[in-house]
Amino acid sequence: MKAVAVFPGKAGSIHLTEVQKPSVQDIPSGRGVLVKVLRVGVDGTDKEINAAEYGQAPPGADFLIIGHESFGQVEAVGPKVTEVKPGDYVAATVRRPGSSIYDQIGTYDMTTDDTYFERGINLRHGFLTEYYVDEPEYIVRVPEGLKHVGVLMEPTSVVEKGIVQAYEIQRRMRVWQPRRAAVLGASTLGLLATLVLRLRGLEVVVMARTRPPFLNSHLIEQIGARYVSTQDLTLTQASDQFGPFDLMLEGTGFSPLVFEAMEVLAKNGVLVLVSVTGGNRTVDVPADKINLGFVLGNKVAVGSVNANREYFELGAKDLSQAELQYPGWLSKFLTHPVKGLENYQEMMRLLTEEKNAIKVFVTVAKE
């Protein structure tokens, strides 16, 4: 079968390859689930893996099949699988357990191991292929009514984790009643974070550089949030006008904004950081002021990466609610379909050059 792969460490090495089709017997415990891949979303991580910024091949291989935002349909199950059955629509989690205590209890997204295993990213093959096999522990059912947007399951899980972490932390307040939130970044993660916060009933201000109107600002306004360009208002000015923000989520990839967010975060507020910033940018910050605000204002900042199946399941619920509350809204995200694995070059081109793309995804097969 076909697969899209890279040679890790070699920039621009993306290529189409032939690999053997897996089967449920590949998992000898009888707990194998064979999934036919239907659609796979791609994001900045795939771009960075192809640029050789990170990514490692599985042991014994010189190539890595990429793709971590999967959506598919179960084709066959081993004799000891009861959780899913052929025909079910599913998404797969990305990280696989290592050895820390967190890995052992299913919270592998909280691993303290230095080496981690992620399908399509690090040491495990991904989903930009025709079939994959995995254990049901890592496979999450997607309601049939969500099959047209099932490819959003993985990015939604990332956002769910960040927001759940914020609410978990805020249980320290006993009576935390957040009213206003700010989301920094208005692309896939920013839009999904805005959705999840709107579903929780918060007022949301979303900020990015691009001046409105454009598709993302329309989408934000359609679910009752406010879009502000950082070219028109700084974060501090936006906070003065629309804040203070009880919950902030930073997902721009531009780390200096983190410190401005720390300054404007409301008293008793929580700031969730999700941007993966691989560079080595430095900035001067008003350190005393930020520290004093944090101490006297009982503020919290928390980093959040990846997600375990709990957040995928929560994502399926919120995506379902979104389809009821804002019918058709999610589909508008899926801006750039690419037909077939063999069009991987077009996929990469859209990912790197198409400024209007929100979600680029590959249609691998029809159900």
Ligand X SMILES: NC(=O)c1ccc[n+]([C@@H]2O[C@H](COP(=O)([O-])OP(=O)(O)OC[C@H]3O[C@@H](n4cnc5c(N)ncnc54)[C@H](OP(=O)(O)O)[C@@H]3O)[C@@H](O)[C@H]2O)c1
- The candidate with the shortest Cα–Cα distance to 149, out of 344, 311, 354, 361, is 361
Report the amino acid identity of residue 319: L
**Strands 117-119 and 95-96: what pairing?**
antiparallel
Site map (CB under 6 A) of ligand X, residues 254-273, x = contact: x--x----------------
Q: Which is nearer to ligand X, 70 or 187 (CB)?
A: 187
CB of 252 to ligand X, least distance (A): 4
Figure out which of the listed residues 2, 9, 13, 44 binds ligand X, where binding follows CB under 6 A: 44
Angle formed at CA 51 by CA 50 and CA 56, multiple of 5 degrees: 60
Figure out which of the listed residues 55, 67, 72, 185 binds ligand X, where binding follows CB under 6 A: 185
Q: Which residues within the stretch 205-244 sit at the binding site for ligand X (CB under 6 A)?
A: 208-210, 230
Q: Which is nearer to ligand X, 22 or 251 (CB)?
A: 251
- The candidate with the shortest Cα–Cα distance to 311, out of 193, 180, 169, 170, is 193
- Give the binding range for ligand X (CB under 6 A) out of 34-42, 127-135, 250-258, 286-294: 250-258
| Backbone dihedral angles phi then psi of residue 257, each to the nearest 5 degrees | -65, -25
Q: Which is nearer to ligand X, 233 or 305 (CB)?
A: 305
Figure out which of the listed residues 202, 306, 314, 323 binds ligand X, where binding follows CB under 6 A: 306
| Backbone dihedral angles phi then psi of residue 346, each to the nearest 5 degrees | -65, -40
Q: Cis ω on the peptide bond leading into residue 244 (within 30° of 0)?
A: yes
What whole-number distance in Å separates Cα of residue 173 and Cα of residue 219?
A: 33
- Give the binding range for ligand X (CB under 6 A) out of 27-35, 139-147, 249-257, 311-319: 249-257
Which residue in this structure is represented by tokens 């599913």?
90
* Beta carbons within 8 Å of 349's beta carbon, 6+ residues apart: none
| Backbone dihedral angles phi then psi of residue 226, each to the nearest 5 degrees | -115, 135
| Residue 160 binding ligand X, by CB under 6 A | no
Q: Which is nearer to ligand X, 77 or 110 (CB)?
A: 110
Site map (CB under 6 A) of ligand X, residues 187-206, x = contact: xxxx----------------
Q: Which is nearer to ligand X, 210 or 363 (CB)?
A: 210
What whole-number distance in Å separates Cα of residue 105 and Cα of residue 108?
A: 8
Which tokens in the block code for residue 319? 């995506």
CB of 313 to ligand X, least distance (A): 17
91, 79 Cβ separation under 8 angstroms: no
Q: State the number of CA atoms in the 13 A half-sphere of 351 facing the CB.
A: 22
| Residue 152 binding ligand X, by CB under 6 A | no
Q: State the number of CA atoms in the 13 A half-sphere of 53 facing the CB.
A: 11
| Residue 335 binding ligand X, by CB under 6 A | no
CB of 260 to ligand X, least distance (A): 10
CB of 177 to ligand X, least distance (A): 27
Handedness of CA 79, 85, 86, 91 (dihedral sign): negative
| Residue 274 binding ligand X, by CB under 6 A | yes
CB of 250 to ligand X, least distance (A): 8
207, 237 Cβ separation under 8 angstroms: no
Q: Which is nearer to ligand X, 66 or 257 (CB)?
A: 257
What whole-number distance in Å separates Cα of residue 167 and Cα of residue 179?
A: 13
Q: Which is nearer to ligand X, 54 or 254 (CB)?
A: 254
Q: Cis ω on the peptide bond leading into residue 213 (within 30° of 0)?
A: yes
| Residue 41 binding ligand X, by CB under 6 A | no
Q: Which is nearer to ligand X, 156 or 187 (CB)?
A: 187
| Residue 275 binding ligand X, by CB under 6 A | yes
CB of 73 to ligand X, least distance (A): 25
CB of 346 to ligand X, least distance (A): 18
Return residues touching ligand X (CB under 6 A): 43-44, 158, 185-190, 208-210, 230, 251-254, 257, 274-276, 304-306
